[in-house]
Protein backbone atom coordinates (compact mmCIF):
# COMPACT_ATOMS: atom_id res chain seq x y z
CA UNK A 1 0.00 0.00 0.00
CA UNK A 2 1.23 3.45 -0.74
CA UNK A 3 1.30 6.05 1.97
CA UNK A 4 -1.89 8.02 2.56
CA UNK A 5 -2.83 11.30 4.14
CA UNK A 6 -5.23 11.73 7.04
CA UNK A 7 -8.45 11.99 5.00
CA UNK A 8 -7.78 8.70 3.23
CA UNK A 9 -6.76 7.00 6.48
CA UNK A 10 -10.05 8.17 7.97
CA UNK A 11 -11.95 6.55 5.08
CA UNK A 12 -9.93 3.33 5.27
CA UNK A 13 -10.49 2.95 9.01
CA UNK A 14 -13.97 4.40 9.43
CA UNK A 15 -12.64 7.01 11.84
CA UNK A 16 -12.97 10.76 11.69
CA UNK A 17 -9.91 12.90 11.06
CA UNK A 18 -10.60 14.49 14.41
CA UNK A 19 -10.33 11.09 16.16
CA UNK A 20 -7.08 10.35 14.32
CA UNK A 21 -5.64 13.70 15.45
CA UNK A 22 -6.79 12.90 19.00
CA UNK A 23 -4.93 9.57 18.84
CA UNK A 24 -1.87 11.48 17.67
CA UNK A 25 -2.23 14.00 20.53
CA UNK A 26 -2.35 11.07 22.98
CA UNK A 27 0.78 9.49 21.51
CA UNK A 28 -1.04 6.47 20.07
CA UNK A 29 -0.54 7.24 16.41
CA UNK A 30 2.68 8.87 15.22
CA UNK A 31 2.58 9.58 11.50
CA UNK A 32 5.54 10.49 9.36
CA UNK A 33 5.45 13.95 7.83
CA UNK A 34 5.90 14.95 4.22
CA UNK A 35 8.31 17.73 3.27
CA UNK A 36 5.22 19.95 3.18
CA UNK A 37 4.29 19.03 6.74
CA UNK A 38 1.33 16.79 5.88
CA UNK A 39 0.71 13.64 7.91
CA UNK A 40 1.83 10.56 6.01
CA UNK A 41 0.37 7.19 7.07
CA UNK A 42 1.37 3.65 6.14
CA UNK A 43 -0.40 0.29 5.97
CA UNK A 44 0.84 -0.42 9.50
CA UNK A 45 -1.07 2.68 10.66
CA UNK A 46 -4.31 1.19 9.30
CA UNK A 47 -3.71 -1.88 11.48
CA UNK A 48 -2.70 0.31 14.42
CA UNK A 49 -5.96 2.27 14.19
CA UNK A 50 -7.88 -1.04 14.13
CA UNK A 51 -6.12 -2.03 17.35
CA UNK A 52 -6.88 1.33 18.97
CA UNK A 53 -10.57 1.10 17.95
CA UNK A 54 -10.86 -2.42 19.37
CA UNK A 55 -9.22 -1.43 22.65
CA UNK A 56 -11.41 1.67 23.04
CA UNK A 57 -14.51 -0.43 22.28
CA UNK A 58 -13.42 -2.78 25.06
CA UNK A 59 -13.44 0.10 27.54
CA UNK A 60 -9.76 0.95 27.71
CA UNK A 61 -8.73 4.58 28.01
CA UNK A 62 -6.05 6.16 25.88
CA UNK A 63 -3.46 6.12 28.69
CA UNK A 64 -3.97 2.38 29.15
CA UNK A 65 -3.90 1.82 25.40
CA UNK A 66 -0.62 3.72 25.14
CA UNK A 67 0.94 1.42 27.77
CA UNK A 68 -0.25 -1.81 26.14
CA UNK A 69 -0.61 -1.05 22.42
CA UNK A 70 2.49 -3.13 21.71
CA UNK A 71 0.62 -6.15 23.12
CA UNK A 72 -2.07 -5.91 20.41
CA UNK A 73 -2.08 -8.56 17.69
CA UNK A 74 -4.24 -8.92 14.61
CA UNK A 75 -5.59 -12.42 14.06
CA UNK A 76 -8.34 -14.22 12.22
CA UNK A 77 -10.93 -12.89 14.67
CA UNK A 78 -9.72 -9.30 14.88
CA UNK A 79 -7.56 -7.68 17.51
CA UNK A 80 -6.41 -9.60 20.55
CA UNK A 81 -4.01 -8.77 23.34
CA UNK A 82 -0.94 -10.72 24.33
CA UNK A 83 -1.32 -10.98 28.10
CA UNK A 84 1.30 -9.95 30.60
CA UNK A 85 0.73 -9.71 34.39
CA UNK A 86 0.31 -5.91 34.40
CA UNK A 87 -2.16 -5.96 31.53
CA UNK A 88 -4.14 -8.81 33.11
CA UNK A 89 -4.36 -6.82 36.37
CA UNK A 90 -5.54 -3.72 34.48
CA UNK A 91 -8.21 -5.66 32.57
CA UNK A 92 -9.38 -7.34 35.79
CA UNK A 93 -9.67 -3.93 37.43
CA UNK A 94 -11.80 -2.62 34.54
CA UNK A 95 -14.00 -5.73 34.72
CA UNK A 96 -14.48 -5.22 38.47
CA UNK A 97 -15.51 -1.59 37.90
CA UNK A 98 -18.01 -2.68 35.25
CA UNK A 99 -19.46 -5.31 37.60
CA UNK A 100 -19.87 -2.68 40.33
CA UNK A 101 -21.60 -0.29 37.91
CA UNK A 102 -23.94 -3.06 36.74
CA UNK A 103 -24.83 -3.79 40.35
CA UNK A 104 -25.55 -0.11 40.99
CA UNK A 105 -27.76 0.04 37.89
CA UNK A 106 -29.70 -3.04 38.98
CA UNK A 107 -30.26 -1.44 42.39
CA UNK A 108 -31.40 1.82 40.78
CA UNK A 109 -33.77 -0.13 38.54
CA UNK A 110 -35.15 -1.97 41.59
CA UNK A 111 -35.80 1.34 43.37
CA UNK A 112 -37.52 2.80 40.30
CA UNK A 113 -39.73 -0.25 40.02
CA UNK A 114 -40.51 0.01 43.71
CA UNK A 115 -41.51 3.67 43.32
CA UNK A 116 -43.62 2.90 40.27
CA UNK A 117 -45.50 0.12 42.01
CA UNK A 118 -46.48 2.32 44.96
CA UNK A 119 -48.45 4.79 42.85
CATH placement of domain 1-82: 1.10.1660.10
The reported pLDDT for the residue numbered 73 is 81
Q: 43 near 8, Cβ under 8 Å?
A: no
Separation in Å, CA 4 to CA 76, 81, 89, 91: 25, 27, 37, 34
Coil, strand, or helix at residue 71? helix
The reported pLDDT for the residue numbered 1 is 62
pLDDT < 50 stretches in the chain = none
For the whole model, what pTM was predicted? Answer: 0.76
The reported pLDDT for the residue numbered 119 is 63
113: enclosing H helix or E strand: helix 85-117
The reported pLDDT for the residue numbered 114 is 93
Beta bridge partners of 78: 75
Amino acid sequence: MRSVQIGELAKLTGMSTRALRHYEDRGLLIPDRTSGGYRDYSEEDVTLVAHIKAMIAAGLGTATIRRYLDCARLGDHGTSLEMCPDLRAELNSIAECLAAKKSELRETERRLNELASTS
